[in-house]
Amino acid sequence: MMGGLVILWTDALVFLLLFFAVAFGIYAAGKEHLRGPWRLVLRSRIGIATLVILSFYVLVGLLDSIHFEPTLTTNQPEAGQVQSIEVVSLFDRLVQPLRERQEKTYSAPLATHLYAKENIELADGRVIRDFPRLKFGGAHLVDPQRDWAQDVVRLSMIGVIKGLVVTLVMANILFALLAASRPGGFAGAAKEVLTGKSEIPWRTALITLGLLLMLLLWAVELSGHYHLLGTDKVGEDVFYQALKSIRTGLLIGTLTTLVMLPAAILLGIMAGYFRGWVDDMIQYTYTTLNSIPGVLLIAAAILMLQIYMSNHADEFNSLVERADLRLLFLCIILGVTSWTGLCRLLRGETMKLREVDYVQAAVAFGVGHFQIILRHILPNVLHIVLITVVLDFSGLVLAEAVLSYVNIGVDPTMNSWGNMINSARLEMAREPVVWWSLMASMIFMFTLVLSANLFSDVVRDAFDPRLRSSR
């Protein structure tokens, strides 16, 4: 059962960022110079397809950012329910079987036995060396050698059929919504979408959504009876670890943006607008910061944080809060070291905008500097901010994997693709090779980074004035 709500630092910042994103969407809807490019993004087949995939990642990340302390029922009736000291998320509750079904050690994807032989004592007292049966994976099979292939095919077909049914339901809902807003009725809207003649490529969105739903429900069916991507050294489900790592990757890419944006926008516009000694001081600041190796700065900051947490262990109620503070600190350090590039771009663009006629006219009429920056400079550099943020996202996700690989990233107790790759380093050296942890992390990270890169290309093209004018 759900208990008391727990708000971690990163949870609060995630929903603060979501609020800003919704507020920016409302603001952009009323500005044609921002609404027009986003219309081009939605009309792009690549843009709408990658948006569907990114929405799945964002949904998992949001569900994993709602934390609470579950209530436990004791065996003593007079005690009633007690509050657990464990902190779990809403996503943990939704995939609780994956989280709780823990084996003894390694098992391969969709396996029914452990990956290494062990001594097994038979009922008659004899000891043989063989592969032991898993406690949960394929436990429903009476004879795994005979029934395994047939059972996997059956569950796969059930998952794919469920995905098709859900896709058809979603398609009919879309047709009904489109029919209500335009002439031609339900049949006309369905024909327009299915033939690819709609203004927004809904057919591409439905195909992408359908493939994603079939893959998701296929995974749900198989993971309910097997370990879809195997288990790790301590027997935890690798598929669960890969899904839990989504939140970490998204936080590194988004919260770092929340940290870097205020400094980059404020200092970049100030340097380009006021010039003179203000420009010199800001340039000196980010030039000095760029001269410091980023990895060394991050390593020093994480080391100081570890010493602080070791000396003040009583301030943290759980391992989740401890790992969350380290993740927040990593986002802050990455933000401090990554704002300089955007600051330089905004400085150059502001210097150009400062000389245009309408800004010079505002200065001549005695309009205040703050009002000029807010009304004339900031709205005209927002497209650069947006493009830079989207392009930097995938780089920050990859940075987390690299930093965790060298043990200066997120806390080892936190699920992340970097920690999975780091643990797979030793697993690849054993015999037989344990390859599925590396494969799972690479698949999930590759899909997110590829989708983010393709989406950022579409956003960059849509917001580029030269490309828009050529169209």
Give the CA dihedral 198, 201, 206, 208, nearest 10 degrees: 170
pLDDT above 90: percentage of residues in the chain: 15
Angle in degrees, CA 344, 458, 173, rounded to 5: 135
pLDDT of residue 253: 83
What is the Cα–Cα distance from 62 to 64, expressed in whole angstroms?
Answer: 5
pLDDT of residue 37: 81
**Domains along the sequence of the chain with CATH:** 4-66+237-470 (1.10.3720.10)
Strand pairing category for 88-89 and 118-121: unpaired
Q: Find out whether the peptide bond into 109 is cis, omega within 30 degrees of 0.
A: no
pLDDT of residue 121: 73
pLDDT of residue 58: 92
List the chain residues with pLDDT less than 70: 1-3, 72-85, 315-317, 464-471
What is the Cα–Cα distance from 12 to 19, expressed in whole angstroms?
Answer: 11
Find the radius of gyration of the CA atoms of the chain: 27
122 CB neighbour count, 10 Å cutoff = 9
pLDDT of residue 199: 85
Burial class (CB in 10 A: 0-12, 13-18, 19+), 127: exposed
What is the Cα–Cα distance from 288 to 345, expressed in whole angstroms?
Answer: 17
| Distance (Å) of CA 236 to CA 35, 165, 431 | 46, 32, 20
In sequence order, the β-bridge partners of residue 118 are 130
Closest CA to 148 of 105, 116, 115, 110: 110
Q: How do residues 272-307 score in pLDDT, each as one tens digit?
A: 888 888 888 988 888 888 887 777 788 888 788 778
Q: Which two tokens stand for residue 448?
A: 């997110």
Report whether 112 contacts 134 (CB < 8 A). Answer: yes
Q: How do residues 169-186 score in pLDDT, each as one tens digit?
A: 999 998 888 888 777 778
Give the CA dihedral 330, 331, 337, 341, nearest 10 degrees: 160
What is the Cα–Cα distance from 230 to 112, expressed in whole angstroms?
Answer: 10
Q: How many CA atoms lie within 13 A of 350 on its CB side?
A: 29
pLDDT of residue 81: 57
Which letter does DSSP use for residue 66 in this model? -
pLDDT of residue 397: 80
